Structure 1
Amino acid sequence: MHEGSGADELAAALLTSIRLLVSDARKARPHGGLTQSEMAALIDIRRAAETTSGALARKAGVSAQAMGATIAALEARGLIEREKDADDGRRILLRLTDAGSEVIDARRDARVNAIVRVLTEDFSAADRATLSAAAPLLQRLAESL
């Protein structure tokens, strides 16, 4: 048993609520959407600033061949670019293009707009204030895991 009254119940309720929120928010996609694996690769490239196909494959838990197909599709759409590593000419670095950043931003904006719509239509000002006060705590919880 964990310390604190109701910690188990709170943890379970938060997990269920957050899982449902994320799942439903993922349904909001701008037109011309990518597959989940393509979007995950784009986001990982953005976070890393530059990376390799092998590093992406290891992070995603897929084969180099599977990641190669994902990278080829992203490059064909102009969302990433390949460049030889200046320090090691055998390595190919992947970087996000401006178009790739725009795709990630459009997806985030679609999700934010879906949540804004629900918050303004279905939640009172007091409800929104409560959620606003809880947001930093949820962030801290996420960062502590």
Structure 2
Amino acid sequence: MIHEDAARLAAELRACLGPLVRRLRQVHLDGELTLSQTSVLVRLDREGPATPSELAAGEGIRPQSMGTIVAALRERGLVARDPDPHDGRRVVVSLTDAGLEALRGLRREKARRLTRAITEELTPAERGQLAAAIPLLERLSRRV
């Protein structure tokens, strides 16, 4: 019985959080980055400089596709390609200041939209319930 309740709760949580996360991932500034380009910038911000092959493997795409994404980001000045200091035959892609600023703008927009949704959709009591649930969700995220 307890396991069934936990399984049902897990399914409901996935069904609820999945669309929220997907919608936040889809937020982009008009005329700005594609989802793939954004994902590469986020990865570079989180994990640091990487070779195009490492980026492709991390994103689960072909190296040729990553080459196209990196070229588009480089053309916009959001990433730099430099020789690998340990192996001059390879290049390393890194985030530029402009790329970091683009990510910050995107994060501000996501935060603005989520704040507006919370403000417009939830009563003060519901906002309190949500605030109380956050530590629980953080614990779960570390465990999964």
Same fold (TM over 0.5): yes
CA contact (8 A) 2:26 2:35 kept: no
- 4+ aligned runs moved over 4 Å, structure 1: none
Could you tell me which residue of structure 1 aligns to residue 18 of structure 2?
19
Could you tell me which residue of structure 1 aligns to residue 44 of structure 2?
45
Q: Matches of 1:80 and 1:140 in 2, distance apart? A: 34
For these two proteins, the number of residue pairs brought into alignment is 144
Could you tell me which residue of structure 1 aligns to residue 7 of structure 2?
8
TM-score normalised by the chain length of structure 1: 0.91
Could you tell me which residue of structure 2 aligns to residue 122 of structure 1?
121
Q: Matches of 2:100 and 2:77 in 1, distance apart? A: 11
Q: Matches of 2:118 and 2:59 in 1, distance apart? A: 33
Q: Helix, strand or coil: the match of 1:103?
A: helix
Alignment of 1:84-95 (within 5 A): 84-95=83-94
Q: Helix, strand or coil: the match of 1:51?
A: coil
For structure 1, which segment, 64-73 or 113-122, has the greater mean C-alpha deviation from structure 2 after superposition? Answer: 113-122
Q: Matches of 1:120 and 1:9 in 2, distance apart? A: 28
Q: Helix, strand or coil: the match of 2:85?
A: coil
Code of the residue aligned with 2:56 in structure 1: it is: A
Q: Matches of 1:73 and 1:66 in 2, distance apart? A: 11
Work out whether 1:67 is the aligned partner of 2:66. Answer: yes
Percent of aligned pairs with the same amino acid? 38
CA contact (8 A) 2:25 2:35 kept: no
The structure carrying a bigger helix percent of its residues is: 2
Q: For structure 1, which runs of at least 5 residues remain unmatched after alignment?
A: none
RMSD: 1.6
> 1:32 Cα shift?
2.7
Q: For structure 2, which runs of at least 5 residues remain unmatched after alignment?
A: none
1:74-118 alpha-carbon deviations (Å, 9 max, x no partner): 000000001112221112111101111111111111111111111
Q: Matches of 2:53 and 2:122 in 1, distance apart? A: 45
